[in-house]
Amino acid sequence: MASATYYEILRVAANASQDEIAAAYRSLARAVHPDRNPSPDAHRQMQVLNEAYNTLRHVERRRRYDDLLAAPARPAGAASRPQARSGTAQPGARPAASGAWLSFQKRIGDDILFTIGHADNMPALLAELQRRIPPAARHYDIAQNLWRIHARHEEVLGTLFRNYAPVVQAPPPAQPRPVRPPPRRRQSPVQPAYGQGERSAWLSMALVAGAALLLYGLLFGRVILPATAQDTGDAVPAAAASAPDNAVRAPAGGAPLFEFPADCATDLLAQAPTYLREACKTVDPGADRTAVATAAPFHLTTTRVASNIRSGPDTRYPVLTTAAPGTRIQLVGYTRSRGHVWYRTNFGGWIRGDLVTDAPDHLPLVPPDQIS
């Protein structure tokens, strides 16, 4: 390194352009790189090549290096003279630590950032760096292998590293604080013209009265009218609520009570309510018409005008029949579907749990393979 200049290492002329220097570096790097060069000295050759290129590719570093080459040689015996204790290098003289160079260097404001690329004696270099620069003026980031030195110690770096010539970068300008516009004053609302406020009040009262009448009409149509139709049409008598177990409807004149599903095939079916006649259609002619012993009667809630009994435990199944409020029905098992409890009736239909007055806790769980 001492006998060859950076231009000689890159094999370019001293007045070569930056493009010529970059092209020469790429060409030599392909031949010298340890991945392609089996020589044991390939790593060292690549370090020397990087040192030369990192110096000549920057305009400011190259200018300082050219000034160093153009400086007159020191007289004989000058090397034996002791340097000044101030630690500053003589103008034009080669740095004392000629065996160390930087792979990255940049000056931003009052800070100098650099990375040590190579040193012939790294422990001695680090000891000299820590001795001549106080701890308050230096910082080393071990994660990024980056040194940060205060600019007032720039001369020390010039004596320790032979390619020291940092690129000066201006610090980012201080961002001015945004000026907030003054708050806008709220304008007072425009006062309505005379008589306009009274018309608005009357209009609001009319809307409220209309909404009340609409709500009353809905309640009248859903509650009062179905109850009247139930009393005069296909309603379940009050005696049905107190009939035991399967008893659903007691005809006048002391006739036998209608039992489901035992009487589905008898003449009493014609006297049964519509929803029970529909339920009998779901019973096969040869099926066992005896009610299950664990079945228990339950009243449906009166919060619904009608309660659907479906062929399966889900609203996606078709409706088998619709039961009126107050109907007594027998439940023989339960299952869960999409967050709801469904009860199975003694004739095979399913009713949702929120339609019965009490939630039975003694019924068995219906296995999935028995759910139609």
Please write the tens of the pLDDT for every residue from 35-44.
Answer: 888 888 888 8
Mean pLDDT of 226-247: 42
pLDDT recorded at residue 10: 92
Please write the tens of the pLDDT for every residue from 82-91.
Answer: 343 333 334 3
Give domain 238-370's CATH architecture: Roll (2.30)
More confident residue, 96 or 353: 353
pLDDT recorded at residue 222: 61
pLDDT recorded at residue 92: 38
71 pLDDT above the threshold of 90: no
More confident residue, 141 or 12: 12
- DSSP states along 152-171: GGHHHHHHH-TT--PEEEPP
| CATH superfamily, with its number, for domain 1-57 | DnaJ domain (1.10.287.110)
Contact of 290 with 270, CB cutoff 8 Å:
no
Backbone angles phi, psi at 101, to 5 degrees: -145, 165
Which token pair is 333?
A: 């098992």
pLDDT recorded at residue 265: 73
CA distance 172 to 236: 90
216 pLDDT above the threshold of 70: yes
CA distance 183 to 54: 56
pLDDT recorded at residue 15: 92
Distant-in-sequence, close-in-space partners of 135: CB < 8 Å, separation ≥ 6: none
The proportion of the chain whose per-residue pLDDT surpasses 90, expressed as a percent, equals: 9
Mean pLDDT of 110-115: 91
Please write the tens of the pLDDT for every residue from 303-324.
Answer: 566 788 898 999 889 888 887 7
Mean pLDDT of 238-257: 42
Residue 260's pLDDT band, with cuts at 50, 70 and 90, is low
Give the other-Cβ count within 10 Å of 74's Cβ: 13
- SS3 state at 332: strand
Q: Where are the domains of the chain?
A: 1-57, 94-171, 238-370
DSSP state of 353: G
pTM above 0.75, yes or no: no
Residue 166's pLDDT band, with cuts at 50, 70 and 90, is confident
